[in-house]
Structure 1
């Protein structure tokens, strides 16, 4: 009985590790489509043969040693897959924003300012802009949802006394032929990018072109902390431009990266499952006192739904002001 239990446990571990191996090969095997299908199939056939040998061949330990050796080779190969900033990127992810900080003057290079007519039809625009952090007046959080209640994309936008806003987005960096995959985000399919963009680009493309649902929340953050958060985005973006990093669905996404910045600015921010289930992030921010005080989360959400306002504002020069009408903190 002990032998059967032990062999069953080892079999379970072989199957479980093979699930990871098959997915790793599916997303990263060389050889294009043939490799994507061929290598996972070969692994599964090898697993079946080894399990047959394991249970019926009379040499279970030899079968296990062969499997361990094969899995070790796979892990070594996996370690050779490195992130890169030199790929054929999609146009809207062609650059990572970088910046230089001189006191309270910040120069940002590669600020995105596309004019979108559809997801395939757009005017490309990358600009250099200078911001005076002494004129920084606000921090906002946008959430953008495309149908999965638990998953939203998060943008952080900074507003200045002259009415200008610039939004930072932690993005997957897709190659031209790629589509986003939450599962692929566990298997080195995408690099990580930080982009600063004009709100008429990065907000409008989500509301008016991709037809996502957006909410806007004014963040309760003091002037010194707001300036430090802006600088943190610049530092993180510069690091990604110098040292590429893989996006990871759990450990390196649009929320966990921002959380790592905020944790250095605001003491005592707790870890929470809503940092991963980003559709529920507003509830977390509300609980830690990060929103306009005196209003319930339900009221903030109701008044923060800006999708229709963004669609009506469309290409208006005062897009940022129009989408904020009625939003708590912006009355």
Structure 2
């Protein structure tokens, strides 16, 4: 009886180990598909060959009640991880025009000088006038900070940006984005497999918000943040430090751990250590609920009404090229 129970226990353990092997093997197949050098034929061949090998090893282990095939898999998986660990990010690729130049900044007293501030004029995703500028900002004149959310897929998914305003009416938006190669398309799955580097863009609102609302058809919301001026200055400087760090030491974008909100969260925690992690930092479409709960946005009205007031899509789409875009999107929304 004990021998029979022992055999059943071994079979269960092998089965569980087989499941773990299949899951890790699936990750390996995707890693090979996204990162194996060569064209689609090579990538498909490598990914399919790996998958068949993993399935064969698991099948043999279960059929023969043997740990040897799984031991062989562990060795192969270790080699795969060794190869994976040697894939390093770089700042030297043929980048798409809108992420081609790295943002850098330097502090001169209370003045912040930003190099490579983007100020494109967009007519379509492929038709635009490219302008990169050096701009100077005085932290003594910072006046506001706004969270900008741009919905492009579903209610749960939005791109998050921070716009800083100054008392002369100027604004600059910081946005953590994927750094795409030329003609490369965004893939959320690829974001798990070192397909993109991370870049930090500083841009004019007339560029980075307008392209989303007026060109890409996204739905945008601007939430004024309730922050003290020292915290605004500290957050602005955190962006400058992060930009300089990325310019000097490239990093991969990760859909979960290093995306448009997690970097901001880590910077904000340096200012407010008590800020807690929340799933809405990943499901960025629900970020307003998180900010409302923290008291980081206006809590004098229900969230539904605040969301309605903060929607800027229609104001943005009604603007003319010569109009003050930042001023126009801060006008009250049209009556419904």
> Which TM-score band applies after superposition, normalised by the shorter structure?
over 0.9
**Residue 72 of structure 2 is aligned to residue 66 of structure 1:** yes
How big is each residue's C-alpha offset from its partner over 1:241-268, in whole Å with a ceiling of 9 and x where there is no partner? Answer: 0000000111101001001111111241
1:89 aligns with: 95
For structure 1, which segment, 310-319 or 127-136, has the greater mean C-alpha deviation from structure 2 after superposition? 310-319
- Secondary structure at the counterpart of residue 101 of structure 1: strand
1:101 aligns with: 107
Q: 1:262 aligns with which of 234, 253, 268?
A: 268
- Secondary structure at the counterpart of residue 80 of structure 2: helix
2:126 aligns with: 120
**Residue 303 of structure 2 is aligned to residue 311 of structure 1:** no
1:238 aligns with: 244
2:183 aligns with: 177
4+ residue runs over 6 A deviation:
none
| Number of positions where the alignment pairs a residue of Structure 1 with one of Structure 2 | 326
2:293 aligns with: 287
Separation of aligned partners in 2, 1:50 and 1:178: 36
Residue 172 of structure 1: how far off its partner (Å): 0.6
**TM-score under structure 2 normalisation?**
0.95
1:10 aligns with: 17
Judge conservation of contact 1:27–1:36 (CA < 8 Å) in 2.
Answer: yes
**Residue 180 of structure 2 is aligned to residue 188 of structure 1:** no
Judge conservation of contact 2:15–2:62 (CA < 8 Å) in 1.
Answer: no
1:52 aligns with: 59
Separation of aligned partners in 2, 1:34 and 1:241: 34
Mark the runs of 5 or more structure 2 residues left unpaired by the alignment.
1-7
Judge conservation of contact 2:11–2:62 (CA < 8 Å) in 1.
Answer: no
Separation of aligned partners in 1, 2:193 and 2:153: 24
Separation of aligned partners in 2, 1:118 and 1:198: 17
Q: 1:30 aligns with which of 23, 37, 44?
A: 37
Judge conservation of contact 1:204–1:314 (CA < 8 Å) in 2.
Answer: no
1:159 aligns with: 165
Judge conservation of contact 1:170–1:192 (CA < 8 Å) in 2.
Answer: yes
- Secondary structure at the counterpart of residue 60 of structure 1: coil
Separation of aligned partners in 2, 1:152 and 1:240: 23
**Residue 225 of structure 2 is aligned to residue 219 of structure 1:** yes
Residue 34 of structure 1: how far off its partner (Å): 1.6
Q: 1:140 aligns with which of 136, 146, 149?
A: 146
**TM-score under structure 1 normalisation?**
0.96
Separation of aligned partners in 1, 2:220 and 2:56: 51
How big is each residue's C-alpha offset from its partner over 1:258-279, in whole Å with a ceiling of 9 and x where there is no partner? Answer: 0111111124111100000000
Residue 292 of structure 1: how far off its partner (Å): 2.5
Judge conservation of contact 1:200–1:315 (CA < 8 Å) in 2.
Answer: no
How big is each residue's C-alpha offset from its partner over 1:269-326, in whole Å with a ceiling of 9 and x where there is no partner? Answer: 1110000000000110111010124122111100111101001114234110010012
Judge conservation of contact 1:208–1:314 (CA < 8 Å) in 2.
Answer: no
- Secondary structure at the counterpart of residue 146 of structure 1: strand
